Amino acid sequence: MELKKKPLSLIYLIPPKLFFELFFSQRKRANSTHTCSSRSMNMISLSRRTFVSSVTLQRLVLGCGGGERKAWAVMESTMMNGGRSVEEIKDDIVGGGVEDVHGEDFATEDQLATPWTTSVASGYTLLRDPRHNKGLAFTEKERDAHYLRGLLPPATMTQELQEKRLIHNLRNYEVPLQRYMALMDLQERNERLFYKLLIDNVEELLPVVYTPTVGEACQKYGSIFRRPQGLYISLKEKGKILEVLKNWPERNIQVIVVTDGERILGLGDLGCQGMGIPVGKLSLYTALGGVRPSACLPVTIDVGTNNQQLLNDEFYIGLRHKRAAGQEYAELLHEFMTAVKQCYGEKVLIQFEDFANHNAFELLAKYRPTHLVFNDDIQGTASVVLAGLIAALKLVGGTLTDHTFLFLGAGEAGTGIAELIALEISKQTKAPLEESRKKIWLVDSKGLIVSSRKESLQHFKRPWAHEHEPVKGLLDAIKAIRPTVLIGSSGAGKTFTKEVVQAMASFNEKPLILALSNPTSQSECTAEEAYTWSEGRAIFASGSPFDPVEFNGKVLVPGQANNAYIFPGFGLGLIISGAIRVHDDMLLAASEALAAQVKQENLDKGLIYPPFSNIRKISAHIAAEVAAKAYELGVASRLPRPKNIVKYAESCMYSPIYRSYR
């Protein structure tokens, strides 16, 4: 039998020493039956407006039947805060990390919490529970109360000192993958310290937990694999995916990031080893967007891999056969989507990540009407690029409709960005979407996409087939179209050559060049190349980070069009509003909110994105705009609408500060 979680806000779990004193004094009176008595359950399910005046020892049986676990709890008076009930107090505040089902951040950080799992964690077990472990930060009192004496060295440290030691150690690693592994080890042993370290050093550590280092981590995931960090759902689980989801220990899941590993960054099919992407993305949901770690679920769908090198690798951790496709693939994905909704409800956000083009578009189109789904490669990339373009208008002048856009790459990222730009132009000019698309041109592997090629094009490319004579290469397309904005989303490195950049600079005073492909090795050009070949006139941003460049005595700072600007705040906005569907207008709202955070001091350096050091505040503003749009469109279910949504969003964010234990 599963206990309802919310009434536990009245239950104060006792420290182990007091537990055993009460246990042995009451043992003779304890009922030996292994079934949950209705009286016990009624005591636990007391109304949240009821106050218990005396200390009463109750026996809780968690999971009746075979393998049951028993714990003892003390229900005591909750006459505090002027005698107000928990329900009345809860109306005034919001728990950290959106829905604080454990009551852990229910009040303030200086109040006592209990390391509650299925019982009171103590001793050796407590030190190996990443959610509650504090390492040397356990106080003398906590070490006595929770049987930690002798299990830790005698010294105590503050969380700040622990953080200082860790960042010092990380900086001593010369290989980025070593830093990645050290951070993953930290996440598995001390969750709060991991997130505090990441939040406080986000600009330094983002390239480690995310692109570009996560790409190398996925390539070597089988070799560095230590402990599973998410759910692996393979063809072996077909027909029982709902049961597999129930194996995950958390029930209140709010965000799922799922991949099938077929198109990991610009690295291709990495099969089951693509799990590094959902794990990394969800770390950023918590660090940058404030979504509680326990509400996040990474999932990899393993249908095999077409990567022969992995199939021959003795350390490969996935299915050893060619990738399934067609009906078998569709049935497995449909079972997964159905099971997720059945298990976690209508409002769980499912983020598709690094699916191949043909599946990415199909899955988004199929499930968008029935599920809360978001594809970061199509929609997230589009939103962050549009934000950069809106901000860049302050440097290059004009409106979006005054510019001509040329893309190298017509996959899910390229067409997704193009569509969102067209939507924004249509919104600003009130022109039909088809008319707005004519300002945007795409080049794929066969050349410029034109109407004469329409019959042979994939469906998602056809809206971009305009009237023009055939053009083979990118350089010829630039000369023919004369774009003001060049965007690379091809996944092919070194394709913005010297001739390409010089051609852009020949008819643009400030050519806007975005080399978006990840990781760094796949970037269309480097920041130094863009600045040097354009004689320092280019406005440049990339998908992976590049260092500042000095040109003619001036320091030029490249921007990073990183999806991490958008998806954490976007997801938070969906959660706090209780949205049940994603609408394109929400993506436009997110883009405009991000662009509004770019200050003049950033533009003066050539930056078209704000610094990541302010990312939590940026995410709160994005979340507020997304939530406001959800209320406006009538797809928000969390009512009433907060009066100050920005403040509400900030109050919902998870805090990684250590709690004091009873």
CA dihedral 42, 48, 53, 55 (to 10 degrees): 60
Tell me the residue ranges of DSSP E strands in 424-575: 440-444, 447-448, 485-488, 512-515, 539-542, 549-551, 554-556, 559-560
Tokens for 162, please give them.
């622990």
Rounded CA-CA distance 56/594 in Å is 53
Residue 210 appears among annotated catalytic residues: yes
Catalytic residue among 90, 134, 196, 281: 281
Give the SS3 label for residue 515.
strand
Rounded CA-CA distance 495/517 in Å is 11
Catalytic residue among 180, 195, 210, 232: 210
Is residue 201 part of an annotated ligand binding site? no
Element counts in the chain: helices (H) and strands (E): 27, 19
Give the SS3 label for residue 74.
strand
CA dihedral 325, 326, 329, 335 (to 10 degrees): 180
Is residue 328 part of an annotated ligand binding site? no
Nearest to 484 by CA among 467, 464, 504: 504
Residue 322 appears among annotated catalytic residues: no
Is residue 59 part of an annotated ligand binding site? no
Is residue 402 part of an annotated ligand binding site? no
**Which stretch of DSSP H or E encloses residue 127?**
helix 123-127
Give the SS3 label for residue 430.
coil
DSSP 379: I
DSSP 376: I
Which residues neighbour 403 within 8 Å (Cβ) at sequence distance 6 or greater?
Answer: 396, 439, 483, 484, 485, 512
8 A C-beta contact, residue 425 and residue 401: yes
Put the strands of the sheet holding 255-259 in their side by side order: 231-234, 296-302, 255-259, 349-352, 373-375
Tokens for 440, please give them.
């945007």
Is residue 269 part of an annotated ligand binding site? no
Preceding omega of 519 cis (within 30 degrees of 0)? yes
Q: Please count the other Cβ atoms lying within 10 Å of the Cβ belonging to residue 634.
A: 9
Which residues neighbour 38 within 8 Å (Cβ) at sequence distance 6 or greater?
Answer: none
Distances (CA, A) of 559 to 116, 135, 205, 289: 43, 38, 17, 20
- Give the distance, in angstroms, between the CA of residue 464 and the centroid of all CA atoms in the same chain: 31
Beta strand 56-62 with 559-560: parallel, antiparallel or unpaired?
Answer: unpaired
Is residue 250 part of an annotated ligand binding site? no
Q: What DSSP line would sit under 244-312, residue for residue?
A: HHHTSS-S---EEEEE-SSS-TTS---GGGGGHHHHHHHHHHHHHH---GGGEEEEEEE-----HHHHT
Three-state secondary structure readout of 296-350: EEEEEEECCCCCHHHHCCCCCCCCCCCCCCHHHHHHHHHHHHHHHHHHHCCCCEE
Q: Which residues are annotated as a binding site for (S)-malate?
A: 263, 518, 562
Q: Which residues are annotated as a binding site?
A: 263, 353-354, 377, 518, 562
Active-site residue set? 210, 281
Q: Which residues are annotated as a binding site for a divalent metal cation?
A: 353-354, 377
